[in-house]
Every structure is written in structure tokens, then in C-alpha cells.
Structure 1
Amino acid sequence: MSETKKIGNYRYRILALLMFATTINYFDRSIIGVMAPTLEKMFGWTNTDYANIMISFKVAYAIGMLSMGGLIDKLGTKKGYILSIGLWSVFGMLHAAVRPAFSVIGFAAARFGLGFGESGNFPAAIKTTAEWFPKKDRAFATGLFNAATSIGAIAAPFVVGWIVHENGKNWQIPFLITGALSALWVFLWLRTYKKPEVHPDVSKEELTYIQSDSGKAESEEKLPWKSVLGKRQTWAFALAKVTDAVWWFYLFWGAKFLAETFDVNIKNIALPFFVIYILADGGSILGGYLSGVFIRKGWSVNKARKITLLICGLIILPVAYVAITDSKWLAICLIGLGAAGHQAWSANIFTLASDVFPKKATASVVGIGGMVGAVAGILADYLLGSVLDQAGNTGYFWAFLVAGSCYLIILGLVHLLMPKMTPLDENLNLIEE
């Protein structure tokens, strides 16, 4: 505690704002998944209709990840983050304007805008973390703000269950709430954020700590976005992000699975989601903390990150059993275990980009990886919607089988592409060890 006081802790105010933004992001993103069984009945959607609405979000997310990541690197974190949250807030509120006569097209259009805006959150947050935390603390810091995804996902069913009736009355109100929250965040961000090296409230000791393992200071010269495309390290990170499809499966299809398999409705979904996402929160924080512990023990960053990812993959394996159990609460706990493992995985995967790439390329790399994850989610939505309409709930068996087994396979491929995780300098050349 005395060391923290001596060093200073302004970086944790910045981290708190990252957590707040990510909570808003996932609250906005999760609302439609919670209300999916109710909206399907109100508007007469098929599984394919619902899948197409989800695909619209992910198409925009994929496009946004490519463009927003590079744009954030170009504009800088402060302006880029405000642009992102402003876009997603406007389109999030526009969901409430959709009318039954054009519900599929209307929701798809609103989701498209939401997806494009929300694509900027993680590139901006990871870039901010790289600016404000040394490598040994980044996975833990990332785990903390990444845990806010679960806070948003937990809040959504409670707010929806409190406001929205089983017949769908008041369904528009949850979509409007995030506008006020986003306005508050922008106000706080404008008052709080500057780069640490020019921030008047950052002590010399804290700045020294933040830059303690950064090596040579980077120039202000911008890197062309295309410069990272030819690097194997970029595609190793992107391959690891294919697992985003699993997380989105839990987020957007979880309530439908529980409704169709165990008759869980909009009024009693809150407790199952609370269990699932509180476990996910714990996984995110512990996963980020664990690799930091390994680094402090003297392990290389490469070994610490990959051993942690291996542990995550093993923890996730039992989720493959979900679709063949008759126990509602066993299914919920196994999904929660899978979500916990995914969030621990995600906290460490995000740090791979800032471990290897210079800070000025981080958002671009995260954007490319997010685009690949979104494309994987698009394919998963298309296949699952088609299978569920044609073969019924047996489609969930294959979904959970893939969700449980893909992490270990992907980790092996990531290791082949990036066996040593050797950092790149500001010109994207390997740094000699």
C-alpha cells in the first residue's frame, strides 16, 4: 500500500473509465439477446430472421474493426474513443424507433450502426491500457476492464426484467437508457484523459513505473495501417480472436437456448445470467492476474501468456456437455464455466497485441483481430440459425461441442505462428534479444 501511495495511482482512474465504457457497451449489446424470445413472439421472427439480425451487427463490427482500429491509431485514443461511443449510443437508441411492419429490416439496420460504433471500444481500450500500464500489469488491467463486459451482461436481464412485461410492453425503454450513460462517460473522459507523459496529475514516479518495461520511447510518426498486415504476429492474434464467436453465442443465443430447452422466460432469466456472467467476471480478473503472477516469478512473457491460455482451454472443455444434460442448473453452471474460461483467455489474448506490437500499432492489430472474430461469428450465426430451423434444438449440440473444443486447437495454431512472441520495434522489426 505504501508503495502504491509513493508511485501514485492515477492510471486506475483511467482504468475505471475503461470499465465504465465497456459496461455501457455490453449492456447495449446484450439487451436484444435477453429479449430475443419475447421479440420473436411479438414480431413473428424465425431462427433465421434472428440470425440475420445478429449477422447485421457482426458484419458492421467486422467492417468497423478494420476501419475503427486504424482510425483510433490515427486520431489518438481520446478523440477515437469519443467517436466510437457516440456512434453506438445513437444507434442503440434507434432500436426503440423500430416498428412491427419492418421489424427485421429495422432491427438489422439499427444493429448495423450499433456494431460499427461498438467496434471501436476494444481497440481504444487496449491502446489506452498499453499507454497507461507496464507489460507486467497489462493482462490484469485488461482483465479488469474486460470483466465489465459481464457487468453489462448481468445488468441487462435485471433491467429488462424490471421494465419489460412478458407480452413485450415497454420493450423500447432499455434501448434508451444507454444514451444518458454515454453522455456522462463522454463528460468524464474529456475531463480526465491525457497521455500519461503530458498529464499534470501523473507523478514522475508513476510515469517511470508506467514506462518501466517499454524500452525506447516511440516516435510520433504514424504507421500505415497496411504495414501490420504482412506480420505473422498479426494473424496469430487474429486466429486467437476466432473464439469471439463462442462468446457471442453465449451472449446472443444463450437466452434462446435456455428458453427453448428449460422454459426460462424474460422474468426469470436474470438469475441464470447472473450466475453465468459473475463466473465470467471472476475468470476475466483471475486470468489476467495469473499471467502477471507468472511474469513476476521470472517467467518470460511468452511462457506466462501461453501457459495461462492452456489452462483456460482445459477449463472450457466441459462446456461441450451442456446440450446433452437434462439439468437446467448444471447447464447454466457449465456455460458459466465456459464463459469464465473465455474471459480469462480473452484478457490474455488482448495483451498479446500490446506485448508484441508498438503502442502506435496496437489498435490496428486489435481491429484486424476483431474483424476476424466477427467473421467467425457471422458464419456461426448463419449455420446455427439454419440448423435450428431445419433440425430443431439438436443444432445446439454441435454449437456447444465446438464451443468446448476449439480453444486448445487454436492455441496450438497460435504457437506455430508465433512460437517466441518476440517484440517488434516501432518500425515493426524484430527486437534483438
Structure 2
Amino acid sequence: MQAAKPGRARYSILLVLFLATTITFADRSSMSIAGSALQEGLGIDALTLGYIFSAFGWAYVLGQIPGGWLFDRFGTKPVYILALFAWSLLTLLQGFVDLLPVAWAITTMFLLRLAVGFAAAPCFPGNARIIASWFPTAERATATAISSSAQYAATALFAPLMGWVVYAFGWQQVFIVLGCMGLALSLVWLREMHSPREHPRLGEAERTFIESGGGLIDLETQATSKAGPQWRHLRLLLGQRTLLGIYFGQYCNNAITYFFLTWFPVYLVQARGMSIIGAGFAASVPAIAGCVGGLLGGLLSDGLLRRGYSLTLARKLPVVVGLLLSGSLVLCIYAESDAAVVALMALAFFGKGLGSMGWTLVADTSPRQILGLSAGLFNTFGNLAAISTPIVIGYLVSRTGSFDWALAYVAANALLAVVSFLFIVGRIHRIELDEQSGAEPGAPRSASGSVS
């Protein structure tokens, strides 16, 4: 008798994740589109704008470990819905800071960006938990790539749209529009998001397919039945060379991300002489390339795995090739035409998308009992770049009056990421936590079957 085919409930979960990630990154990328107008409207210099750009990152980093712990302790749905509602409301409030005196407006914008960063902190650790529980190992890279591609789709869609909004209505309206969209999405999330054990449309055939393929379908049950991770688990995670290499690689990878999310449109306006609307449309081209690269990287990785190649090769090959391509953005220093700059940035962002396997690697390697904590720690390391990159670039531009050293800085981070993934990470395997003591990892198991 032929086995029943698995259903497609997991794809509806992936769609909700994609929408939530799109709104998250729309806020970040649209801040960069509004950056030049905001700088002019508030009368601030490049370094001050860099600090406002980085405010999100300060709080985002501080919120990662607490956010990951909250997921492991209380489960994904309640924590995520609270975070989504809070960051959307705070985004909306940014549209009204111009009603204050200039000095207060600058301070309030900085504080609101801090608050948005803290509220948004749990979201990517939550995405990692949801994908680890809803998708088998052989589909995990593709699912992660689709979810993560929302960051590129957000820029591709919202950069030109918000560029037009800034031009037609002012930079304040960017935050009002995005805040309202996020609040509406909160209602969708509340209705559609469930764990594999509780989803009303998940059939037994699909549940078996997910579980037998390595999906961690009991993560939510474990979250509500235990007291949550202990602080000693941080020492365990930080003592694992594989995880440290992944964490550091993500920091370098995110330096590329935050250049695009903060300074890239400003670079197009100030260094290349484009209009705000032109910069919005130009910024969408690399974003589309990044989306294509991200999807291709996930499909390539899972395809290699299904064809019998090792998990290590399947995950590392797209990372190394992609990040090497990302380094090509340094060639913009020598490009004379705007078209050449956009083409080089598109190539670099395609490579960045191709090599963005960090979240998949976290789901593949982290101890299942503390996956949320590991994801939070991973995103803490990665988003230190959200703090350092805007400030370093702002400093370099202020001191030199040029973006050349800024481009070289971003390209250098791409090469450092390659070194980390090649020589520090080592073999990709699941690190097992001793169920009884919780103190030391056991021997790694195979990536096939029920353990990935």
C-alpha cells in the first residue's frame, strides 16, 4: 500500500514567517531611504546619522539572549506576537518626532530606534525555532532561504515605494505606513501561527514526514514543560568551536547587510549624485539579486544533501562562493558610471544572499534543548555589526569625505567570513546536550534520520 503523501501545512507557516520578516526589514531599509531627508530635516551631520542608524542595533543585540531564552521558556507564539505588536507600534510613533523641538526630536528618534531594536530582537531566533520544528533537515536550508529572502524582498519592494513616499509626503510618513502594516500583520500571526502538535490543518502523514526527517516537532512542548535554559548553557555554547565560527561568520556577513540597510542609499545620493527616488529604485536592484541568491543558496544546499553529499559540503559550498562574490563591491571604488556601481552591488548582494546560510547552520548544529538560546547568541554576535558598521562607515566618511574606505571595510568583512567558515567552523554536526546533567555535550550524531 502506497504511503500517504505529506500535506502542505508547513508552507503556510513559512508564508507567515516570510511576511513577518519582510515587515521587519522594511523598517530597517526604509530608515536608510529616509536617511538623507531626515538628516536634512533635523540638521545633523553624517556621524550623528550613523549613530541614529546604529541605535536599532544596540538594543537589538542586547535583546537577543533574553529573547532566545523567552522562546525556550514560554514558546514561540506568545513571545513573537508580543514582539511584533510592540515594534510595529514603536515604528508608528517615529512618524511624529518632528512635532518636537529639534534637539528633542533627535533624542526621541534615537530612543525610539533603541526601543524598536529591543522589541524586534526575538524575531529571528523565533524564526530559527519555527523552521527547526516545522521542516525536516533536507528542506531546512530552502525554508530558511525563503524566510531570509524576505530581507531582500523588503528592500526591493519598499525601497522604491518608500522613496516615493519620502518625495511626495515627507520622511515621517514612512514610519506611519510601516507601523500600520505591522499592526495588521499581528492579527494574521495570532490566527495562523501554531506548533506542529497543535496546528488544526496538519495531517498525520505530514507530521510523520517532518518528524522522521529530523524536524524537532516537540520544541514547543519542551518549552512549556521546563524552567528554561540555565546560564551555564551560555558557557557551553561559547566553548564550542563550531558554533563560535558560525557566530563570528555571521558578524562579518551582517556587516555587508547593514551597509546595504543603512548607508547604501545615502552613498548613492551623496557620492553618486542620485535623487532620493533614483536611489530607491537603484537600491532595489541589488535587493532583487540578493533575493535570487538567497533562494538559490538554499536550493543548492538542500539539493547537494539529497544527492548524498555531506552536510558539511552542502552547507559550506554556497557560503564560501557567495561571500567571495560579495567582496566584489570594493570594485565600486573604481567604477565611473552609476550603472556599473549598481551592477557591482547587485553581484555583491547576490553573493551575500547565496552565502547567507547562518540560520540554517544554527538549526543544524545547536543543541535542541537550548536552540532558542543558541539562536539568540548567534544573532547577538551577528548584530554587533548593526552597531559597528553604521558608526565605522559614518566615521570613515566624515574623516575622509569619501566612501572608498567604507567600501573596502565592507569587502574585508566578506573575506573574514570566508576564513571563519572554512577554518574555524569545521564539520557540521548537531551538538548534543547531556539530558541528565545538561553540562557537557555528548558525541555528535548523524545528520540523517531523526537527528540533524
- Which of the five TM-score ranges fits, normalised by the shorter chain? over 0.9
Cα distance, 1:225 vs. partner?
5.0
Q: Which amino acid aligns with 1:375?
A: L
Is 1:390 paired with 2:402? no
**Aligned mates of 1:214, 1:225 — CA distance in 2:** 27
**Aligned pairs for 1:234-245 within 5 A:** 234-242=243-251, 243-245=253-255
Is 1:282 paired with 2:292? yes
Which ranges in structure 2 are unaligned for 5 or more consecutive residues? 435-440, 447-452
What is the aligned partner in structure 2 of residue 406 from structure 1? Answer: 413
CA deviations on 1:339-380 (whole Å, 9 max, x unpaired) are 12112222x111111101234422222211221222233223
Q: What SS does the aligned partner of 1:425 have?
A: strand
Q: What SS does the aligned partner of 2:213 have?
A: coil
**Aligned pairs for 1:192-207 within 5 A:** 192-207=192-207
Cα distance, 1:75 vs. partner?
1.7
Select between 133-142 and 211-220 the one with higher mean Cα deviation: 211-220
Distance 1:295 1:178, change over 3 A: same
**Aligned pairs for 1:195-274 within 5 A:** 195-214=195-214, 220=222, 221=226, 222-224=228-230, 226-227=232-233, 228-242=237-251, 243-274=253-284
Are 2:320 and 2:422, in contact at CA under 8 Å, matched by a contact in 1?
A: no
Are 2:142 and 2:298, in contact at CA under 8 Å, matched by a contact in 1?
A: yes
**Aligned mates of 1:102, 1:324 — CA distance in 2:** 41
**Aligned pairs for 1:65-104 within 5 A:** 65-99=64-98, 100-104=102-106
Cα distance, 1:226 vs. partner?
4.0
Are 2:263 and 2:390, in contact at CA under 8 Å, matched by a contact in 1?
A: no
Q: Which amino acid aligns with 1:20?
A: L
**Aligned mates of 1:4, 1:58 — CA distance in 2:** 48
Question: Identity of paired residues, percent?
Answer: 26
Residue 127 of structure 2 is aligned with which of 116, 125, 137? 125
Are 2:131 and 2:140, in contact at CA under 8 Å, matched by a contact in 1?
A: yes
Residue 368 of structure 1 is aligned with which of 370, 377, 388? 377
Cα distance, 1:171 vs. partner?
2.3
Are 1:157 and 1:266, in contact at CA under 8 Å, matched by a contact in 2?
A: no
What is the aligned partner in structure 1 of residue 437 from structure 2? Answer: none
Are 2:323 and 2:417, in contact at CA under 8 Å, matched by a contact in 1?
A: no
**Aligned pairs for 1:15-94 within 5 A:** 15-94=14-93
**Aligned mates of 2:433, 2:396 — CA distance in 1:** 47
- Structure 2 length-normalised TM: 0.89
Cα distance, 1:315 vs. partner?
1.9
Is 1:295 paired with 2:305? yes
**Aligned mates of 2:245, 2:23 — CA distance in 1:** 29
Cα distance, 1:104 vs. partner?
2.3
Q: What SS does the aligned partner of 1:165 have?
A: helix
What is the aligned partner in structure 1 of residue 449 from structure 2? Answer: none
Cα distance, 1:161 vs. partner?
3.0
Q: Which amino acid aligns with 1:224?
A: Q
Indicate the RMSD between aligned Cα atoms, in angstroms. Answer: 2.2
Q: Which amino acid aligns with 1:429?
A: G
Is 1:110 paired with 2:112? yes
Cα distance, 1:151 vs. partner?
1.9
- Structure 1 length-normalised TM: 0.92
Q: Which amino acid aligns with 1:119?
A: A
